[in-house]
Amino acid sequence: QNLSTETVTIPVSEIEEIFKQIAETLQNVAKNEYQFINSCKEFFQFEEPKKVQFNEAGDCGYIVPIKNSIKQFLNKPDVINLLITNKNETISSTKRDTDLLLTYRDGVAASSNKLLHKNKSSFLLQLYSDDISVTNPLGPKKDEKKLSLFYYIIDDMPPIVRSLLSSIGFLGICLTKFLSNTTYRRKFFETMINDLNTLQTEGLIVSTSTERLYFTLNLIAADNLAANDYGGFQKNFSNGYFCRMCYMSYALRSIPITDISFRLRSEESHEQHLQKALQSNDFIFGIQRQSDFSSLIGFHPIKSLPFDIMHDFSEGKQY
């Protein structure tokens, strides 16, 4: 194709006028925060995060409404088709070859997930938590402004899509120091759990699908310290029963597992030991208290807080 070599001249005054119009439009939309938020609601279906008020001093955390967040993501062109196609192909692959383990559905934990059995067409929902420091990490007050962040991802998306930052949804944020207060902690997680339970039981409708879509929690990803904390286990890994999955004691950690025997934790044994821990107000086999997510549908500390191979091997210490 032959391209014209003629030079197109645009007067500077016209360019200035264009930028002036753009600036005026932005100023009219965002004259103040109230007007800006209303414009976002009108044109982008924005829904304000829920403010979880902890005290009269104004200390708070925020939870992003997950139903609206997922709805905006699935309303994008071709996303829902990509999601359904990948889920069906994955299920078909594991049916053809039972030795394959591709998703949560193929594991033992899924067999006891009542909600997944009730709604077999449910999409898998994974939560993720991490803490970040927004100040000098070497400074004396590095933990003063430390934030606990919570995210979610639809686990049935193809890996190439799931790895994109745009596929990760923001769920909640709170100063980490507030979560050390039992009352604040309970209020924050209750708000988050209520939203998640509503999503799992009621599902949602999107413009790109003719059917109601349902979601089921499969796991909560976190580093070992956070996972033990959310599960109600001890947060010390240098003594006692430090493992979330078995009854291996710290004293036996260096002995090859072929030379000793130990029991794996189960949901039944966990509940028994939890009751003893609550009654004695002491650690029982590494269990300290009720999990923060105990009322979250589909969650149990034994099956929903898996280990992170990147922390345990690539970055962690091998005993």
* Confidence at residue 319, expressed as pLDDT on a 0 to 100 scale: 45
Pairing type for strands 60-63 and 123-133 reads unpaired
Structure pTM?
0.83
Closest of 127, 136, 290, 101 to residue 218, by C-alpha: 127
Type of residue at 202:
E
DSSP per-residue letters across 171-187: EEEEEGGGGGSHHHHHH
User: How would you classify residue 186: left for phi > 0, otherwise alpha for psi between -120 and 50, otherwise beta?
Assistant: alpha
| Tens digit of pLDDT at every position of the chain (319 positions) | 455 556 677 788 888 888 888 888 777 776 777 877 887 788 778 888 999 999 999 999 999 999 999 999 998 888 898 999 999 999 999 999 988 888 888 888 888 888 888 888 899 999 999 999 888 777 777 777 899 999 999 999 998 888 888 889 999 999 999 999 999 999 999 999 999 999 999 999 998 888 899 999 999 999 999 999 999 999 998 999 999 999 988 988 888 888 888 889 999 999 999 999 999 999 999 999 999 999 999 999 999 999 877 777 766 555 4
Nearest 5°: the CA angle 193, 289, 306 is 65
DSSP per-residue letters across 170-226: EEEEEEGGGGGSHHHHHHHHHHHHHHHHHHHHH-B--TT-SS-B-EEEEEEE--HHH
